[in-house]
Structure 1
Amino acid sequence: MSDHVSLPPLADLAAELRELDSGLGPSELHGSLCGWLSGGGAPDRERWLAALMSEPGAPSPAPDSALGRLFGASVAQLDSPDFGFELLLPAEDQPVSARGDGLLAWCRGFLGGFGLAAGAEPPLSEESREALADLARIAASELTYEEPEADEEALAEVAEFVRVAVMLLHSDCVLGPRHRRRLN
């Protein structure tokens, strides 16, 4: 049985981000948070939002707020042994263009958060370096939507690639060092 922790609804996060006047969308913020955590950033419930927004005085989200639940679910999903990690993207009932734009924003956020936490030369395997470069190419992409069925398929494949790449990077930068520390 899985102890999967669900991400909060995108609309709830969007409302809280508007209240903070953050300028970030929910997908981009989730990408930033996952990048921060995957790059070895401290899973600090009190200061994560301030760190990602580069605003030291930003308030700490209440644990039961959508932002607080986003943090808790993201930490739990990335650390989950059952690979239950999910990307926070617009829902399946949204147009493929909105979901594609959400995926690009997620990737841009991830790269920013990862760079902030991991620094210029993170200790990555060759496979992780390639995955990071692929994430950068995805983030820099300009999507066109001409064939709805093929676009749906391609978006699902790219989203799954991103999900696996994130787990690989998290493993190199966080899980591997954590396991080595336990062995020593």
Structure 2
Amino acid sequence: MENNLPDFELCLAQCGSSISPQELSALHGLVCGLLCAKPDLELLQLVEILPKMGQGGVLETAIVDQLGEILQLSRLQMGDDDLGLEVWLPDDETSLAIRTASLAEWCSGVLAGLSEFAGESLAKIYAESSNKDSDNFDAAEALRDFTAISRIMDEPIEGTEGDEEDFAQISEYCRISLLLFQEMLRGPDELDSIH
């Protein structure tokens, strides 16, 4: 069975001007962050959470018809033994500036989702983050990085080959870090039982 998310550009086109690429990426980030902390998240719960998280406008767009599919496929990807998780971003034909802003919003969505169900755990991780011997040191560093990435939207981007390579590396780092957050919140034993 294919676990690929719906085509980003097609979803964006179906929504017309009612949603930006950044908002679509933020939605996926939010879903992923929520699933890290609450793997059994149901569609109805997601629909109730969206307005509270500043994503209520999504419910008034065509993407609402695919929300259940996005939730289920994201859940499957996050449980994939082959690390098949996608970061749902515009394709490579889109300007680097828009892709970077979309990645920033995806990271912001992940952080919002994590804080919804795992706020106390995140506070504990941050508190332990100065101790390099802590089990949560890498996760705390990744959380700080996600916060920094979520703030890069306004920085000028030239779109050089080096910028493209940097973007690809940062996107991959974000993808793997999300899986680290998931393991940190659920523990390795629970992840094994999901597979």
Range class of TM-score, shorter chain: 0.7 to 0.9
Map 1:39-118 → 2, pairs under 5 A? 39-40=37-38, 42-54=40-52, 65-118=65-118
1:38 counterpart SS class:
helix
Which residue, 127, 144, 151 being the options, matches 2:138?
Answer: 127
Higher helix share: 2
What's the % identity of the aligned pairs? 25
- Give distance in 2, aligned partners of 1:84 and 1:174: 19
- Give distance in 2, aligned partners of 1:81 and 1:91: 25
- Give distance in 1, aligned partners of 2:81 and 2:8: 25
Q: Find runs of 4+ consecutive structure 1 residues off by over 4 angstroms.
A: 15-19, 21-24
- Give distance in 2, aligned partners of 1:136 and 1:45: 27
Alignment deviations for residues 79-137 of structure 1 (CA, whole Å, 9 cap, x no partner): 11110001000111111111111101111111111111211334652211111111111
Gaps of 5+ in 2: 126-135
| TM-score normalised over the length of structure 2 | 0.76
Q: Which letter maps to 1:176?
A: P
- Give distance in 2, aligned partners of 1:12 and 1:66: 12
- Give distance in 2, aligned partners of 1:97 and 1:11: 16
Gaps of 5+ in 1: none
Alignment deviations for residues 1-58 of structure 1 (CA, whole Å, 9 cap, x no partner): xx55010122454467679x78882100000110111133642133213213328x99
RMSD: 3.1
